[in-house]
Protein backbone atom coordinates (compact mmCIF):
# COMPACT_ATOMS: atom_id res chain seq x y z
CA UNK A 1 0.00 0.00 0.00
CA UNK A 2 1.22 3.35 -0.90
CA UNK A 3 1.37 6.34 1.38
CA UNK A 4 -0.42 9.26 -0.22
CA UNK A 5 0.95 11.77 2.21
CA UNK A 6 -2.35 12.79 3.77
CA UNK A 7 -2.74 12.57 7.50
CA UNK A 8 -5.76 12.10 9.66
CA UNK A 9 -6.32 15.41 11.42
CA UNK A 10 -8.64 13.97 14.09
CA UNK A 11 -6.97 13.04 17.38
CA UNK A 12 -8.17 10.13 19.44
CA UNK A 13 -8.15 11.85 22.89
CA UNK A 14 -10.95 13.48 24.88
CA UNK A 15 -11.71 17.14 24.47
CA UNK A 16 -11.72 19.53 27.40
CA UNK A 17 -15.51 19.74 27.27
CA UNK A 18 -15.86 15.96 27.44
CA UNK A 19 -13.50 15.72 30.42
CA UNK A 20 -15.36 18.52 32.21
CA UNK A 21 -18.66 16.77 31.59
CA UNK A 22 -17.33 13.46 32.98
CA UNK A 23 -16.01 15.22 36.09
CA UNK A 24 -19.34 17.02 36.61
CA UNK A 25 -21.29 13.76 36.36
CA UNK A 26 -18.94 12.05 38.82
CA UNK A 27 -19.25 14.93 41.28
CA UNK A 28 -23.03 14.74 41.00
CA UNK A 29 -23.01 11.02 41.75
CA UNK A 30 -20.68 11.49 44.70
CA UNK A 31 -22.96 14.21 46.09
CA UNK A 32 -25.99 11.93 45.86
CA UNK A 33 -24.02 9.18 47.60
CA UNK A 34 -23.02 11.45 50.48
CA UNK A 35 -26.59 12.72 50.91
CA UNK A 36 -27.87 9.15 51.00
CA UNK A 37 -25.30 8.08 53.58
CA UNK A 38 -26.10 11.12 55.72
CA UNK A 39 -29.84 10.39 55.64
CA UNK A 40 -29.18 6.73 56.44
CA UNK A 41 -27.01 7.64 59.44
CA UNK A 42 -29.60 10.10 60.71
CA UNK A 43 -32.34 7.48 60.48
CA UNK A 44 -30.15 4.88 62.18
CA UNK A 45 -29.39 7.30 65.04
CA UNK A 46 -33.10 8.03 65.49
CA UNK A 47 -33.92 4.31 65.52
CA UNK A 48 -31.17 3.59 68.07
CA UNK A 49 -32.43 6.34 70.34
CA UNK A 50 -36.03 5.10 70.15
CA UNK A 51 -34.77 1.59 70.94
CA UNK A 52 -32.99 2.99 74.02
CA UNK A 53 -36.22 4.65 75.17
CA UNK A 54 -38.15 1.41 74.59
CA UNK A 55 -35.58 -0.76 76.41
CA UNK A 56 -35.58 1.62 79.36
CA UNK A 57 -39.36 1.55 79.44
CA UNK A 58 -39.34 -2.25 79.57
CA UNK A 59 -36.86 -2.12 82.45
CA UNK A 60 -39.13 0.31 84.32
CA UNK A 61 -42.17 -1.92 83.83
CA UNK A 62 -40.20 -5.00 84.92
CA UNK A 63 -39.02 -3.19 88.06
CA UNK A 64 -42.55 -1.94 88.71
CA UNK A 65 -44.02 -5.44 88.43
CA UNK A 66 -41.27 -7.13 90.48
CA UNK A 67 -41.54 -4.70 93.39
CA UNK A 68 -45.31 -4.10 93.03
CA UNK A 69 -44.98 -0.35 92.56
CA UNK A 70 -47.92 1.84 91.60
CA UNK A 71 -47.97 4.64 89.06
CA UNK A 72 -46.58 7.74 90.74
CA UNK A 73 -44.35 5.86 93.20
CA UNK A 74 -40.80 7.24 93.39
CA UNK A 75 -38.22 5.56 91.16
CA UNK A 76 -34.54 6.48 91.08
CA UNK A 77 -32.87 5.13 87.96
CA UNK A 78 -29.35 5.46 89.39
CA UNK A 79 -30.00 3.18 92.37
CA UNK A 80 -32.86 0.95 91.20
CA UNK A 81 -32.60 0.48 87.42
CA UNK A 82 -29.05 0.98 86.18
CA UNK A 83 -26.04 -1.01 87.29
CA UNK A 84 -24.48 -4.43 87.36
CA UNK A 85 -27.12 -7.11 87.94
CA UNK A 86 -29.99 -4.65 87.55
CA UNK A 87 -32.48 -4.20 84.73
CA UNK A 88 -30.09 -2.03 82.69
CA UNK A 89 -26.38 -2.86 82.89
CA UNK A 90 -25.41 0.62 81.67
CA UNK A 91 -27.30 3.84 81.23
CA UNK A 92 -28.28 4.38 77.59
CA UNK A 93 -26.60 7.15 75.63
CA UNK A 94 -28.13 9.11 72.77
CA UNK A 95 -26.18 8.45 69.55
CA UNK A 96 -26.36 12.11 68.49
CA UNK A 97 -24.68 13.41 71.64
CA UNK A 98 -27.96 14.55 73.07
CA UNK A 99 -29.09 13.29 76.41
CA UNK A 100 -31.95 11.75 78.28
CA UNK A 101 -34.21 13.39 80.80
CA UNK A 102 -35.06 10.72 83.38
CA UNK A 103 -38.33 10.85 85.27
CA UNK A 104 -38.33 10.36 89.05
CA UNK A 105 -41.60 8.44 89.39
CA UNK A 106 -43.16 5.36 87.84
CA UNK A 107 -44.91 6.75 84.76
CA UNK A 108 -48.48 6.09 83.69
CA UNK A 109 -49.10 3.55 80.96
CA UNK A 110 -48.26 5.12 77.59
CA UNK A 111 -45.84 7.66 79.08
CA UNK A 112 -42.10 7.11 78.50
CA UNK A 113 -39.83 7.13 81.56
CA UNK A 114 -37.05 8.90 79.64
CA UNK A 115 -37.17 11.53 76.93
CA UNK A 116 -34.37 12.30 74.53
CA UNK A 117 -33.30 15.81 73.77
CA UNK A 118 -31.36 16.13 70.55
CA UNK A 119 -29.30 19.35 70.36
CA UNK A 120 -29.54 19.44 66.55
CA UNK A 121 -33.20 18.62 65.97
CA UNK A 122 -35.11 19.44 69.13
CA UNK A 123 -36.77 17.39 71.87
CA UNK A 124 -39.43 15.65 69.76
CA UNK A 125 -37.10 14.33 67.07
CA UNK A 126 -36.22 11.08 68.82
CA UNK A 127 -39.58 10.64 70.49
CA UNK A 128 -41.38 7.40 69.55
CA UNK A 129 -44.52 7.88 67.45
CA UNK A 130 -46.65 5.45 69.45
CA UNK A 131 -46.22 4.63 73.13
CA UNK A 132 -49.72 3.31 73.81
CA UNK A 133 -48.52 -0.16 74.88
CA UNK A 134 -45.87 1.18 77.24
Per-residue pLDDT tens listing for the chain (134 residues): 556 655 556 667 789 999 999 999 999 999 999 888 888 988 898 899 889 999 999 999 999 999 999 999 999 999 999 999 999 999 999 888 778 999 999 999 989 999 888 777 666 667 788 887 77
In a domain, 2, yes or no: no
Residue 77 sits in which domain range? 45-117
In a domain, 87, yes or no: yes
Output b/e per residue, 47-59; b: 16+ Cβ within 10 A.
Answer: eebbebbeebbeb
In a domain, 4, yes or no: no
In a domain, 54, yes or no: yes
In a domain, 129, yes or no: no
In a domain, 49, yes or no: yes
Model pTM? Answer: 0.73
Q: How many domains does the chain have?
A: 1
In a domain, 27, yes or no: no
CATH of the domain at 99: 3.30.1300
Amino acid sequence: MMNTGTRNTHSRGLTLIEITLVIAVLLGLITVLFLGVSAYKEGANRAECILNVSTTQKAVRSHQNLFKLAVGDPLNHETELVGEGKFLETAPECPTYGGYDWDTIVPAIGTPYIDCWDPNNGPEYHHPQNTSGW
